[in-house]
Structure 1
Amino acid sequence: MKKSLSILFLFLSLSTFAQEIRFARIDSLLNYLYENDKFMGSLCIRLGDEVVFKQAYGFSEATKGVRANGATKYKIGSISKTFTATMIMQLVDEKKIVLTTKLNRFFPKVDQSDKITIEHLLYQRTGIKDYANADATLTDVLGKPNTKELILKKIENYSSMFEPDSQHEYSNSNYFILGLIIEKITKKSFAENLKTRISDKLELKNTYYTNEKTDVTKRESYSYTFNGEYWDKIDEWNNDIAFSSGGIISTPEDLTKFIRALFKGNLVTPVSLELMKTLKDTYGMALIRFPFGERKFYGHNGKIEGFGSTMGYYEKDDLTISLIVNGENYSQNDIMIGILSIYYKLPYPFPNFKKLDAELIQKYSGTFASKDIPLKITVFEKEGNLLAQATGQPSFPLTFSKDDVFVFAAAGIEMEFTSSTSFILKQGGKKFNFTKE
């Protein structure tokens, strides 16, 4: 018996050690990106109910040297929509509203409101123009009081772009309206509903809505852009502009706790959760499915000011991950690919930020064909970076690994140039020879 226990203890120790190595490499990646002025932000990984990784990088107030930490709060942009959808489905569960309720019950001045339902709003299938991205006159309301009322008037004056439920088109107007509907039904503010229905229930101490300006004394963060020399602060919006479509403040840790609780049935009924997960034209009720190899994460992403956010849950592994960026000078999607590649023990070379010289670019560029598979791959330069594109497929970036080897980690692709006129493509344990035409 003692021997069995010793073996078990050894197994657990080795497993823990391997996990620590993975997390140390993720930390090294994010530090590497920060040190090269490519990224500032915060990451949280939750396995089951346990936070196994939580770290912040860079500054919440760069001009004053205020460092970010695990409790730093960021604007999460359109991840707010998942909170809004959850509260609407809670009202459905409470029988205070039904998905077939028409919009004209609340806002009859909106074009085709007699045909638009709550369900159409949730699935973004209304035909209502996006006030935040498609209306160049949005600047008219900036800096004015009663922002929400002014935006609603704009929405009420739009003409429908298409017949309700005939197609999907992402529009912040849909979730702005849903936030107003929550207020009308409950006779409480969106902020109060968020607090009582989600934040207090899950003990999310750093998740809330406010229309006040950023307050660094409350550990709230500004967002930044890198101007070539230093991180330059981006001007703030009045949060009421984004409102229920994108104005919530949170942390990666709170986001991982929220979406896991949603999928564990702690916020809505199983029937409502299934509806939220059901995709129509790739979009659920404020849930998107993110593929990473054969794994499918459910979640959402967001953009507001200079903030970028991602939140995802993979049910099979009970794994939750959230990354919030407040300084972006490198693709957030590529950062997530790096993090997940390391977590799942896939080959992942750190990106090389040294620009290829013109001679090397010329060496690698061209169209290559293979006798092994009926496929052509064109390798080309864009803004000093090397990209590849297979016949009939979108282009993808090639990250320098070593010597004449480039990789595209998201698809597990490795391309080793054996000369200026040929390369070997390795993917899924197979090798294919390509020669320049």
Structure 2
Amino acid sequence: MKRILFFVVIAIVAISCNFTTKEKSYKAENPIEEKIKKVMDENNVPGLSIGIIRNGKIDILQGFGTKSRKDTTKVNESSIFQIASQSKMFTGIIINNLIQEGKLNLEEPITSYFPSDINENAKKRLHKIKLKFLLNHTSGISSDACFVYSERIDGDAWTKGYSKEQLIKDINNIKLEFEPSSQFQYSNSGYAIVGFICETVSNLSYGQLLEKYVTLPYKLNNTSVKLSDSQILKLVTPYRKDNRTVETKPSNMGMATPASAIYSNATDLTKILSEQIKAYRLYDSLNEQGPLILTKQTSKMDEKLQYGFGLIKMTGGSDIKYSHGGDADGFACEYFFSPQKNNGVVILTSSGGRWLGKLADGILENLK
């Protein structure tokens, strides 16, 4: 009996030690959280929210820092940010749905979709631009062709709005910078015009289109063009990226929202990321099409990067990755995934800078 008791005691001690070792190992092996805190501290960033897909499953949804420098409410996975140019990905999803419904054709000149408000001179100047050229940034339309971009100061919030009448006036005065499809040039204004075309052919506002084709199908409860009273309470405060002690504001981009100003959070972006990884894995294995596949047609950015419809295809590493992001007015977002590895990363912050893309890509590369 004493011998049996001795072995039981030894077993209990061994199990206890094993649990202790695992617990210590887990705490020591949490490099993602440590890296995020380190980078936030180095860059003086008030708040950050992250979502990680590992092996096809949501592995992390977490917030860091506070809602503002004055409000010590903790940032979490439900905290809301503006996502700047990440909005273009949602516009690409809307486009794919309208194509499936036969309301749009990528090979059609964009002038085919213009209402009578666009004058004949503008239609003559722009008739060589196909819809796909707007989407992959080869249209020849400069990024600041719309005054909302030419007048806006980088880092400052734009609070003046941008009406349909103002956009139409800008389209009527656009002059091309190069022959359509001859080169790549990123254009925010091009995506503002894409949103205008979507509204024209559907008779729906962009907000209604976003709801119909994105937020309802994928259950994104806090992704929108305008926040409700309850959502405003979740909105973090942005800070200038050139001086992160200076508070700024969310932007009111009006008709330029399809390019630059959707609101979302880590929970919603991780949901759509998960669905997009699944869609790309099916596309790669079975060539199964769907509205989340945004790189069936691309333009060449450089030797390693191709631009689709609001999504960048990256071919420089051991596997093909996809990404986009946004950085403006204090808010910033990065969105990376690898269908081959079945992993993805979304990061939202209340102050931007190049550090964020490096952080997101570095996390993705080190996911096992």
Bigger mean CA offset, 302-311 vs 129-138 = 129-138
Give 2:7's aligned residue. none
1:310 Cα shift?
0.9
TM superposition score normalised by structure 1: 0.66
Give 2:135's aligned residue. 122
Residue 81 (structure 2) pairs with residue 74 (structure 1) = yes
201, 223, 237: which one aligns with 1:185:
201
SS for the counterpart of 2:133 is helix
The structure-2 alpha-carbon separation of the partners of 1:227 and 1:164, relative to structure 1 and needing over 3 Å to count, comes to closer
The amino acid of 1:189's aligned partner reads S
Give 2:144's aligned residue. 131
The amino acid of 1:209's aligned partner reads V
Deviations 1:296-354 (A, max 9, x none): 3212111121112111221112112111121247711332244235435xxxxxxxxxx
Give 2:37's aligned residue. 31
Give 1:378's aligned residue. none
1:22/1:342 contact within 8 Å kept: no
Structure 2 Cα separation of the partners of residues 145 and 134 of structure 1: 11
Give 2:274's aligned residue. 260
Bigger mean CA offset, 270-279 vs 292-301 = 270-279
The amino acid of 2:33's aligned partner reads D
SS for the counterpart of 1:334 is helix
52, 57, 64: which one aligns with 1:57:
64
Gaps of 5+ in 2: 1-18, 301-305
Structure 1 Cα separation of the partners of residues 132 and 85 of structure 2: 18
Deviations 1:78-117 (A, max 9, x none): 1111110111111111112211222112334446322111
Give 2:216's aligned residue. 200
2:137/2:185 contact within 8 Å kept: yes
Gaps of 5+ in 1: 1-12, 345-437
271, 279, 282: which one aligns with 2:298:
279
Deviations 1:399-435 (A, max 9, x none): xxxxxxxxxxxxxxxxxxxxxxxxxxxxxxxxxxxxx
Structure 2 Cα separation of the partners of residues 136 and 90 of structure 1: 28
* 1:285-434 pair list within 5 angstroms: 285-290=309-314, 293-328=317-352, 331-340=355-364, 342-344=366-368
Structure 1 Cα separation of the partners of residues 346 and 66 of structure 2: 18
1:101/1:117 contact within 8 Å kept: yes
Residue 182 (structure 2) pairs with residue 166 (structure 1) = yes
The amino acid of 1:223's aligned partner reads P
2:298/2:308 contact within 8 Å kept: yes
Superposition misfits of 4+ residues, deviation over 4 angstroms: 16-23, 132-137, 142-146, 212-217, 266-269, 271-275
Residue 261 (structure 2) pairs with residue 242 (structure 1) = no
* 1:92-103 pair list within 5 angstroms: 92-103=99-110
Give 1:251's aligned residue. 265
The structure-2 alpha-carbon separation of the partners of 1:170 and 1:64, relative to structure 1 and needing over 3 Å to count, comes to same
1:246 Cα shift?
1.3
Which gives a bigger RCO, structure 1 or 2 (Cα 8 Å, sep 6+)?
Answer: 2
Q: CA RMSD in A?
A: 3.4
1:79/1:302 contact within 8 Å kept: yes
Structure 1 Cα separation of the partners of residues 192 and 279 of structure 2: 25
The structure-2 alpha-carbon separation of the partners of 1:51 and 1:262, relative to structure 1 and needing over 3 Å to count, comes to closer
Give 1:46's aligned residue. 53
232, 236, 246: which one aligns with 1:221:
236
Structure 1 Cα separation of the partners of residues 146 and 29 of structure 2: 38
The amino acid of 1:179's aligned partner reads G
